[in-house]
A and B are shown apart, each in its own frame.
Chain A
């Protein structure tokens, strides 16, 4: 069966520091991968999606970037965090044309 992992689970970082969040999927190959952000009490905002290694599409221009160095690995990064980057970050995957997205456990990021 397929599983999706995210780490770290929680992170507290000062403004201006770098960020690296990792997401990996097991039990499948060539998944579509997604990064979402959820502000407190709000819905999900799609940040990036990837249909293959090295293929990244950005939905919202901002302080963040994403990379996909391996088939089942998706990384969310920032060179300098802003206070507004605080939130809950969710990674999701889907198999081509299945349209069902399955989510990881999420990372709670607090920028201080």
Chain B
């Protein structure tokens, strides 16, 4: 079974600064995807970014980028030029490409952007 670990329950950063959220995972599989989801105070889960395990290039979506280290089973999220709207819970998630597309989530990191 896969596990996803987010070791930072809470983080805070000043507006416009850069912040990195950590995620590690454990799996014996070689083909999988990793995701970061954002859950703002409204509580609707929003997909932020996706990384395919077979790709060496790190995914980037505007101010959001990942540092994917497959051998280390590490998948961190970097938020550049942080904005007040980035305040949210952030969840790392794993899905195997062989199965029924069930996501395994970490316990989340609560990020607060300070004005």
Contact = CB atoms under 8 A, between A and B. Distances in A.
B92 to A, nearest CB: 10
Secondary structure class of chain A's binding surface, majority of residues: strand
Interface residues on B, range: 20 to 34
Interface string A34-71: 10001000111010010100000101000000000000
Interface residues of A, number: 25
A42 B110 CA distance: 11
Most B Cβ at <10 Å: residue of A90, A92, A99? A99
Given A42-B107, A101-B103, A88 B43 contact: yes
6 contacts: A34-B102, A46-B103, A49-B102, A92-B45, A104-B44, A108-B43
Interface of A: 32, 34, 38, 42-44, 46, 49, 51, 57, 59, 88, 90, 92, 94, 97, 99-106, 108
Interface of B: 33, 35, 37, 42-47, 50, 91, 95, 97, 100-103, 105-108
